[in-house]
Structure 1
Amino acid sequence: MAGQKTEKAIFAGGCFWCMVKPFKEWDGVSDLISGYTGGTLEDPTYEDVKRGDTGHYEAVEIEFDPAVFPYEELLNVYWQQIDPTDDGGQFHDRGDSYRTAIFYTTEEQREAALRSREALGKSGRFDKPIVTEILPASTFYPAEDYHQDYYLKEREHYEQDRAKSGRDEFISTHWGQ
């Protein structure tokens, strides 16, 4: 994809390990980094964020070609990975760093995210209100190397963690996947 116009999208959806694979293998996605955003501490570590007092979210930063995979499609994938009605974390991962949020990098992304959230809220798919925030992007700090592509590096641990999280059951119940 070198030389093509790419954009960045940033999504927080609970544990970033579970947010990589759903986006990684789409045509048009050229890079995906697990990391931290939205907080006050510069260069946070996993331990800093896990402590819960930095304000950071675990998130993924996606580099994509909007001509191949439009931002609206990224939003569709995103919504189908999370419980947008839970403001206390995601599935078995609890706490502020595991909350959901869309961090927009352009005004067009903000508008698309707002439209998408409103449509999801009106869809009747969920019994509770959508609480996922839409926030301006701030500095994104890549997580430590061992967190990158965790689902490939530590497949067995990743699959065990995901299986016990309740994420897959939720997705199946609400999206039929």
Structure 2
Amino acid sequence: MKDYIYEKATFAGGCFWCMVQPFDELPGIVKVESGFMGGHIKQPTYEEVKSGESGHYEVVQITFDPLVFSYEKLLSLYWPQIDPTDPDGQFHDRGPQYRTAIFYHNENQKEEANKSKEDLSKTNRFSKPIVTEVIKATEFYSAEESHQHFYKKSPKEYKEDRMKSGRDEFIKENWQR
């Protein structure tokens, strides 16, 4: 049996509640965790991040088996979950904590993320420029347990919030054509 190590991928796509389900329970995905990255406070709470003052992004960190589910495949799943042209948040979630970003964990991920961003730009799918940043991963802080797999724990609240957000309409209009 070949020894290998799982990898991590970290994506910011607005509210982390909406970013778990698309990656969850797929072959090769070991874990999807909601949390925070990129700020200046150690061990931030959800309330500190939500205030927009901590400098953190809401993110999902995905532990995956690269022999089963490639990073390239994760990127191709990430882009259609977001509006990559919005510099101020995502859908009804506004503020720096809801901006989009791909946090890379190694040079290969950096290259693949930049290439996928460039490839998306070349499609001319959007009239505005792609503003999603590709940023070196920093320390990941797990969100409180109540935020983990929120779509399963509170399906009614999750569906209502997602419906109000405008995310699904945007995805349908811009990615499913």
| TM-score normalised by L of structure 2 | 0.97
The superposition leaves residues 27-75 of structure 1 with CA deviations (integer Å, 9 ceiling, x where unpaired) of 1100011000000000000010111111000000000011111000000
- Distance in structure 1 (CA, Å) of the matches to 2:131 and 2:6: 29
1:24-173 correspondence to structure 2 within 5 Å: 24-173=24-173
- Distance in structure 2 (CA, Å) of the matches to 1:29 and 1:81: 17
What stretches of structure 1 move > 3 A for 4+ residues in a row? Answer: none
- Distance in structure 2 (CA, Å) of the matches to 1:51 and 1:114: 30
- Opposite residue 86 of structure 2, the aligned amino acid is D
- Opposite residue 45 of structure 1, the aligned amino acid is T
Give the alignment's Cα RMSD to 1 decimal. Answer: 1.0
Identity %: 58
Q: How many residues align?
A: 175
- Distance in structure 2 (CA, Å) of the matches to 1:113 and 1:64: 16
1:25 Cα shift? 2.1
1:5 Cα shift? 2.6
The unaligned stretches of length 5 or more in structure 1 are: none
- Distance in structure 2 (CA, Å) of the matches to 1:51 and 1:168: 25
| TM-score normalised by L of structure 1 | 0.97
1:176 Cα shift? 1.1
